[in-house]
A and B are shown apart, each in its own frame.
Chain A
Amino acid sequence: MSDKKLFRYSEENKERFLDSANIKFDDGTEVTPEEIWHYLTVEGPAKYPNSFEINLYQGNRGTRDETLISSLKAQYLSLTLSERMEKAKDKGKTIAFIQGGQAVDPYTAADTIALRPALINSWYAGKTHGETIYQRNLRTRGIKERAYNDMSFEACQTGGYEQIQAGDLRVDIVAPYSVLRCSDVSYGLEAHRHGPNKDVKLFLADFPMRHQADKKWAIEYFAKNLRRLTKALDEITGKETTEEDLRESIKLHNKGRRLAVELADLWWSADVPPTNGGDRGSLVTLGNLEAHGDAQATLSVLEEARKEIEERVKNGVRGHGVAENPKRLFVLGSCVGLNNYRSEESGAIVVGTDNMWSHLTTIVDEEGDPYYNLAKATLEYPYEQSIEKRALWTVEQIKRSRAEGVIFIHNWGCNTQAAVSRAIVDVIKRETGLPTFISERELGGLQHEQEQNRVNAFIEMV
């Protein structure tokens, strides 16, 4: 058990918090603000002291803004992910491990919870209680090292491999997309075939490349991949996913995507940033509805977040920890980000990213063949297009967000993002004239100080 001193959310905000809405879950259950508050102030700190440690950079705290109710609720969903997944498995729910930056419409349609690497890690990490930040980091880095040994030390991130193979996580299927965004997805998936967990099913949705959205045959091929995907999921759930199920799922996810875009537009419309960069990022990405392993719960927090941001923009509220006239940064590249707290401390704020935002902005047609529509939309993700096309889309986002500096971050071993980093940044520089910077980082690595020094130097220059 941790003997570190822990912080506690201020009672000052409690009354307002208790007046907010319940969170509704996929299985029809609800949790009240009272129960959430109790969890955030009593149960959570006991189970996960690492998320409540008092240290210079607030440890693993999901949000630093205690008055942003939706963000506190998102924090609640994060903290309870592990126990919710365990309960879901006890009730026979199917869980898929996914990668590829895709929207999860087909998984939802097939009554399957889709979890990305970060969520798999959280599920696994959350099974152990009472750890300090140090203890948790040490344990999770140990897992990563073992996975490096089993796959390759040049893997970008080990994608939940060890947690699924040796960590006793009840994942039913590993079913990613082989998109160009990540060089390791296919190989990481294939690596599961020789691990100790032989029961886990494997499936690859094969993402075509090179002007893929302009080729009817490529869209049709990917649509067939999606049909195979839902069939593979059906074999586990024992249900039959109909076209209507997928259509309904697309409608649900479109709702999330539209809300996220509305929220982002509101945020960008404000003269002063209404939240800090971390909260902006976590609230916008709620639009994928997969961020917490429960689409309905995520949607209900997102709806609340949208209202809260609208209110803040109307009242000119400045986000917690945001400097006066902060330098606005747009971050692109691999599925990693900046240390928001430290960047804000240096007088900057992250106002946008391309990862995730790319498919949040892609609304799927709701009429006609849902598989074809979803395939077409997926192949149209701006992030997956050719250098020039992707860069020009990014330029639009940079302009919408009024960014003053651009950072392309690629993760260690992320070959396919690193490979185009200079070319993409080259186009952005040409089109916007903004200062740009390419940075490499390692997920969970030990060189964060060096990385931040470079980022801070860039912020200073901007």
Chain B
Amino acid sequence: MAIKTLDIIRRRVEERPEELKKERANGKKVLGWIGYHIPEEVAYSLGFIPIRISVGGDSKLVEVGARYASSKTCVFLREIVGAFAENTDPYIQETDVLAFDATCLQNFRAAEVIEYFFKRDVVVLGVPRNVYWEEAIEYFTQEAKEFTRLLEERAGVSVDKKKLAEAVDLFNKIRAALKEIYQYQASKGNVISWLEVYDLIQAGYVLDKQEYLQLLQQTLAELKEQQSYIDIEQEAGEARIFISGSVIPRGDRKLINIITSLGGRIVGDDIWTGIIPYLDLNIKEISPEGIALGYLNRTPHGALPYLELKTDKRLKKLHGLLDEYKAQGVIYHTLRYCDPYTFKAKETKDVLAQSGIPLLEIHTEYAGSDYEAIRTRVEAFVEMIRNQTIESEEEVSA
């Protein structure tokens, strides 16, 4: 049985651009954001409608973006720049203020380029690289205060502690609901797929937050009714795949479709546009900087270097998620010129090999020319994993 609420969500996403137009006509302001550390709660409490700008999969826009930001910028950001140049994406059209963070240097550069060429009002949150240092926390606290000040200026109001607490509560509930739904997709007898949850997560980038929470809770209720248990175990003949690496935004479903069309079952991810931003977010203090620090203390983004392999939180989290979702192999997706993840591909492969987990790196862009090449490689990988499962089952039964 299908989850009916998912259809409602799809419809509401389609209707959202028109709604935004009306909201703006009524005096509301839209804050479009791109990054990993943007504290959405702060923007929300100030009365902005936060929209996560996320486009992908369009090689024409990538080409357009290259005219402004060069062909050496990562494919995702090149397309973002291209989308600002074309200005046909409804969310880009409806954005009043843009917020970027400096987590990824290329993200920061994209902010500069968009500000320069398209005269957009851009606010940037500085992010330290040595995030484990006390001094870095002090610096980030100041950056969060400055970021808030700049948003307050644009909103025309100051942060209200009560509204901020309400925003935190709302966003915490959204995160909790998403985490719970995510468990269902990885279970035996699942009635919702990873891709459906992935789309559900990305619907939250644009929908009204109150409505989104209500739709998530409705989805959960349906799930509980149709799937009475969560039992995350490998099943016979399964090839349970975990996706790691570069961002996979809305519009880019090339790799995901290849994996699923070949019978691979995606059971988890740790990508920037997937579940990872919603995990381990613990806000200890209701203040803009308290929220920002909560964001900073999650699993670090690949753009933030960590100099000791053994205690790397990102790799530790990856191991934890692989274990939790009983994944048998990792497809490591790297986008052209996405340095934060391409530089880590070999290392991640070597580290996972020590735990007996195979990793396949797929380095790609939005053009379709590599489709068949990727398909062949993924097919072999899925087959290998499935054979391993069969072999280990035979060993057990022998």
Contacts and interface: CB of A to CB of B under 8 A. Distances in A.
B187 interface: no
Contacts of A418: 69-73
Interface stretch (B89-97, B127-135, B157-165): B127-135
Contacts of B309: 193-194
Contact of A416 (B105, B128, B142, B306): B105
B73 A423 contact: no
Contact of B124 (A210, A415, A426): A210
User: Does more than half of chain B's interface fall in helix, strand or loop, or is it mixed?
Assistant: helix
Interface string A197-210: 00000111010111
Given A152-B339, A215-B146, A388-B116, A206 B346 contact: no
B343 interface: yes
B136 A422 contact: no
A321 to B, nearest CB: 33
A218 B136 CA distance: 10
A204 B102 contact: no
A17 B224 CA distance: 89
B102 A422 contact: no
A225 B134 CA distance: 11
Contact of B106 (A152, A183, A215, A217): A183
B113 interface: yes
Given A206-B129, A209-B108, A151 B343 contact: yes
B70 A419 contact: yes
Interface in B69-108: 69-74, 102, 105-106, 108
A183 B338 CA distance: 10
B135 to A, nearest CB: 4
A420 B146 CA distance: 25
A351 interface: no
A208 B343 contact: no
B138 interface: yes
Interface string A206-239: 1011101001011011001100100000000000
B128 A208 contact: yes
Nearest to A438: B70
Nearest to A216: B142
Contacts of A178: 129, 305
B307 A221 contact: no
A225 B130 contact: yes
Contacts of A388: 116
B213 interface: no
B120 interface: no
Given A194-B350, A208-B139, A210-B126, A415 B343 contact: no
Given A413-B72, A413-B337, A202 B345 contact: no
B343 A386 contact: no
A108 B68 CA distance: 40
Contact of B116 (A186, A215, A423): A423
Contact of B112 (A188, A217, A423): A423
Contact of A208 (B74, B105, B126, B337): B126
Contact of B305 (A151, A154, A204, A215): A204
Nearest to A221: B139
Interface in B332-362: 336-337, 339-340, 342-347, 350-351
Interface residues of B, number: 51
Contacts of B371: none
Contact of A422 (B68, B130, B343, B346): B68
Interface string A399-439: 00000000000101111101111110010000000000000
A365 interface: no
B70 A422 contact: yes
A66 to B, nearest CB: 40
A201 to B, nearest CB: 9
Contacts of A209: 102, 105, 108, 124, 126
A183 B340 CA distance: 9
B110 interface: yes
B105 A180 contact: yes
B129 A186 contact: yes
Contacts of A387: 112-113, 115-116
Most A CB atoms within 10 A — which of B67, B105, B307? B105
Interface in B182-209: none
A215 B366 CA distance: 39
Contacts of B105: 180, 183, 209, 415-416
A189 interface: yes
User: Does more than half of chain A's interface fall in helix, strand or loop, or is it mixed?
Assistant: helix
Contacts of B343: 151-152, 155, 184, 187-188, 190-191
B339 A184 contact: yes
B67 to A, nearest CB: 7
A25 B3 CA distance: 77
A203 B130 CA distance: 10
Contacts of A152: 339, 342-343, 345
A415 B130 contact: no
A204 B102 CA distance: 17
Contact of B138 (A221, A386, A440): A221
Given A188-B343, A204-B305, A221 B128 contact: yes
A351 B273 CA distance: 47
Contacts of B307: 189-190, 193, 202-204
A206 B304 CA distance: 11
B117 interface: yes
A149 interface: yes
B308 interface: yes
A420 B113 contact: yes
Given A183-B106, A413-B72, A422-B70, A154 B139 contact: no
A3 B304 CA distance: 50
A186 B305 contact: yes
Interface in A5-24: none
Interface of B: 67-74, 102, 105-106, 108-110, 112-113, 115-117, 124, 126, 128-130, 133, 135-136, 138-139, 142-143, 146, 303-309, 336-337, 339-340, 342-347, 350-351
14 contacts: A154-B337, A180-B109, A184-B339, A187-B339, A189-B307, A193-B309, A206-B128, A210-B102, A217-B142, A218-B126, A410-B70, A416-B105, A423-B116, A440-B72
Interface of A: 149-152, 154-155, 178, 180, 183-184, 186-191, 193-194, 202-204, 206, 208-210, 212, 215, 217-218, 220-221, 224-225, 228, 386-388, 410, 412-416, 418-423, 426, 440
Query: Closest 7 CB pairs between A and B?
Result: A221-B139, A418-B70, A187-B343, A418-B72, A217-B142, A419-B109, A190-B305
Given A154-B339, A155-B343, A193-B307, 7 more contacts: A152-B339, A183-B339, A187-B343, A190-B307, A202-B307, A221-B138, A413-B337
